[in-house]
Structure 1
Amino acid sequence: MAVDAVIAVACLANAVIQSIVNERFFWYMPLVAGAASAALLWRRRYPFWVTQVVGVCTIVQAMTGALGDLPPAQLVVTYTFAALCPPKERLIAAAGTFVGVMLSVGVPQEKVLNLGLVGIAFTAAYALGVGARARRDRIAMLEERAARLAEGQVAAATRERERIAREMHDIMAHSMSMVVIQAEAGPVAVRTDPDKAEEVFDTISETAREALAQLRRALGVLRAEEGGASRRPPPGLEALPALVDDVRHAGLEATLEVDGEPRPVPSDLAVTAYRIVQEALTNTVRHAAADQVRVRLSWRDGALDVEVRDDGRGAFGGGGGGAGLGLVGMRERVAASGGELAAGPGPGGDGYRVTASLPLA
């Protein structure tokens, strides 16, 4: 507002000085020039209407001969409507300005020679306004792009945190369950079967080391200087036999069955299948009080079906249908792969069964 007030005062002073120099200072001239200059105070809020008010005042000054060679207020509103008006209003204002310039310069015959100078001045004012609008639009576009980029970064960070949380839950829940079970069996084995005790402690050691390696991968703390040899890929379908062996060492009768012809699958889908089996076996070991558990992979034309079924007491820990975080994580993994997951009591209400269908396409 302060800048526009200074511009308005400068335009009024210029109009008065030009009328005095041209010896055309009439009593109404300050009123007309003052109205045109005062309208500039609202040029940013109402550019189209201010352009009309200033245009009328400029034509009145031109018709009475009180207008100088260049109307400063009209130049200012030309810049303003070029910078701020929408396309339709900008076109109307430009046409009106052209007509007004022709009337202001053409009617007083002595000013016809100034047409080239006036045309250049108005063209420059309009071009400056267009440049200002383009710069403002570009800034808005860059700000929007930066906002979208920031939103994308936040979303990516959120997805990464969720991925790490799922990985850590799956790793810790399974590995620590195996360690706890083996550790509880260790003292008994020490007293009754030293060879079995040695095997138990070896299993604890291997399980803990594998959990540590998987945690390091999940958290992304492997350094480049550690070399490529230490960078093992995340576990996939080829690691399922070892996973079933871990459960077997924990005292359950665990089996792995494969139907159909195995085929290469994307690494993310293989990890999803592995984590589903891992979480289901972990829940069986921790909560189901089961004696037997069966893992079954069924290869179909367009999908891989995964089933984990035990003969335990049903819903894990009384959770009823998988209210635990582990099953939530499994559902998220399967949904991200475009598949379907179901968890609930087995046929006839015996035991518990987790099934997932993962599309191979």
Structure 2
Amino acid sequence: MPSRLAPPATPARLAAEVSRPRGIRPRMYDRGRTRRTPSSSYFGEMHDERPPHRLALGGPRPPLGKRLRPWHWVAIDGAVAVVLGAIVLRAMAHLYGAYNPHHLGFPRPSPLMSALAVLAVVTACAGLVLRRPRPSAGAAALWCGWTLLVTVAGRYALAVPAGTAMVVAATLLVYQISATRPLRWAAAAFGLTLGSALLTAPLGSSDLQQGAVVCAFAVSVAAVTGRLVHRNRTYAAELRRHQAALLHGELTQQRLRVAREVHDVIAHSMSVVGVQSGYGRFVIDKDPALAAEALDNIRQVSHDSLRELRGLLAVLRTTADDGVAPPAPGLADLGPLADRIGRAGVRVDLTVTGDTGDLPPGVALAAYRIVQEALTNVVRHAGSATANAAVTRTAEVLTIAVRDDGPGPSGHTGEGHGLAGIAERAALHGGRVEAGPAEGGGFLVRAVLPLTGDAR
């Protein structure tokens, strides 16, 4: 019985299985290629934010936020930290003199207490600057500043504006970590910030405790928002990778289609030319007329193959604006194909049953190429004088059978791509192929292509 050839794994199926490499964590700057520069040796592993179309000539100009480099963002954070620190320190300097506003009972701070409070504010602002390049260091700086402020100056009035700076820095830092780092980092930053705020209850004034409540709310909102942004960026990065994999698979399939078409045209014509040239050399001394006939056959086959190649190149060069592409060969061209095979020394008995005139062009081309490749294999390997090619169309399937009366499979190593190309063509249309020794001798190639939808 003929052996069934399993449909080959298509490139699209392989490309769809492309997954993200392990160990690669999604980061905020996932729109460009990671690189290290002299500045990144200090700021850590910085990611190029520039999108791919930024470097494309004539591409759309991205918005300002997309054009900024990582060090630009660090500079912006530094400017925010300087402005925030200046405002807070000015307010603290005022409260150092007017230490008990509204007569709420705040004690007078000592110069050492005031200096430590200023140091806490500077430490928190430094954590704000480090939130992008070194989030862990920024979180540590903010936690140290908050702890120092609460334990040393929590009962003083100047701690209230300093606490405002802590709330702003903590909100921005928690958002940054939640948006760019894994969940465990975000949870750790959120828990550390809330734990620091709890120190206000036993050590801070009532005004500072109210600021801690505001801090807990703001940090919670920042954490949730950051995780949503992180998820959207991760999804966008995965979608880009998936689209790139699909594009790669589509391009691979296009290359395979071109390779199959070129193989079918070249292999068929070269097989006929090889047989005819050998025959012509054999009879050139005995019967020059037969040698001249062989040369005529070679000329005709070469002309037909060149015409098919030109048609194939025209299809490849045709775009949507160029109009209609040249027609591809179909079942109506099986007669001339049988004549060319006959001139190569193998008589072909061709039978076409059923109405094949309304077949889709893709199915008709696949059937033609299957018959062409099967007959080419007969010429090259079968050592047979005759071959039978039958194409039968029913309401549901198109059956193609090519059989020769040769001795069957020989010692041929099968290094060519003939049967594999036949199986690929059938698989593209949901069909199957069986190839093997036929009952009663010879070799049989049988393909079944299902007809669905408009093909019926």
Give the alignment's TM-score, normalised by structure 2.
Answer: 0.60
- Cα deviation for residue 53 of structure 1 reads 6.1
Does residue 192 of structure 2 align to residue 107 of structure 1?
no
CA distance in 1, matches of 2:284, 2:323: 40
Give 1:6 deviation, angstroms: 6.6
Residue 12 of structure 1 contacts residue 34 of structure 1 at CA under 8 Å; is this kept in 2? no
Equivalence map 1:201-212=2 (5 Å): 201-212=295-306
Q: Distance in 2 between matches of 1:157 and 1:108?
A: 65
User: Secondary structure, in 3 states, of the residue corresponding to 1:251?
Assistant: coil
Corresponding residue for residue 392 of structure 2: 298
- Deviation at 1:324? 3.1
Q: What residue is the counterpart of 1:168 in the other structure?
A: 262
Paired with 1:46 and 1:266, the residues of 2 have a C-alpha distance of: 66
1:334 equivalenced with 2:426 (yes/no): yes
Aligned residue identity for 1:307: A
Q: Is the 8 A contact 1:15 1:33 kept in 2?
A: no
In the alignment, the residues of structure 2 paired with residue 241 and residue 25 of structure 1 have an alpha-carbon distance, to the nearest angstrom, of 107
Aligned-partner Cα distance in 2 for 1:296–1:214: 23
1:105 offset after TM fit, Å? 11
Q: Which aligned pairs between 1:303-322 and structure 2 lie closer than 5 A?
A: 303-315=397-409, 318-319=412-413
- Amino acid paired to 2:417: L
Summarize the Cα distance change of 1:101–1:171 in structure 2 as closer, same or farther, 3 Å threshold. farther
CA contact (8 A) 1:344 1:354 kept: yes
Q: Which letter maps to 1:353?
A: L
3-state secondary structure, aligned to 1:85: helix
Partner of 1:22: 95
Deviations 1:224-280 (A, max 9, x none): 8xx868x43111111112211211222222111234454622221211111111111
1:208-219 superposed matches below 5 A:
208-219=302-313
Conserved 8 A contact 1:79-1:129:
no
Shift of the 246–50 alpha-carbon distance from structure 1 to 2, 3 Å rule, reads same
Per the alignment, residue 355 of structure 1 pairs with: 446
Q: Which residue number in structure 1 is paired with residue 135 of structure 2?
A: 44
The answer to whether structure 1 residue 74 and structure 2 residue 133 are counterparts is no
TM-score scaled by length of structure 1? 0.74
Q: Give the deviation of 1:68 after TM superposition.
A: 4.7
Unmatched 5+ stretches in structure 1: none
SS at match of 2:267: helix
Once residues 192 and 161 of structure 2 are traced to their aligned partners in structure 1, the CA distance between those partners, rounded to angstroms, is: 21
3-state SS of paired residue (1:347): coil
Deviation at 1:344, TM superposition (A): 0.9
Determine the C-alpha separation between the residues in 2 that align with 1:25 and 1:241: 107
Q: Which of the pair is proportionally richer in helix?
A: 1
1:180-205 deviation digits (Å, cap 9, x = unpaired): 323344463796474x6665444333
Change (3 A) 1:47 1:141: farther
Q: Conserved in 2, the CA contact under 8 Å of 1:288 and 1:317?
A: no
Deviations 1:81-115 (A, max 9, x none): 12332799598899899999999999249x99xx9
Q: CA deviation at 1:147?
A: 3.4
Is contact 1:54-1:77 (8 Å) kept? no
1:104-143 correspondence to structure 2 within 5 Å: 107-108=206-207, 143=237
Q: Secondary structure at the match of 2:424?
A: helix
Residue identity opposite 1:147 in structure 2:
R
Q: Aligned residue pairs: how many?
A: 346
Q: Distance in 2 between matches of 1:101 and 1:300?
A: 85
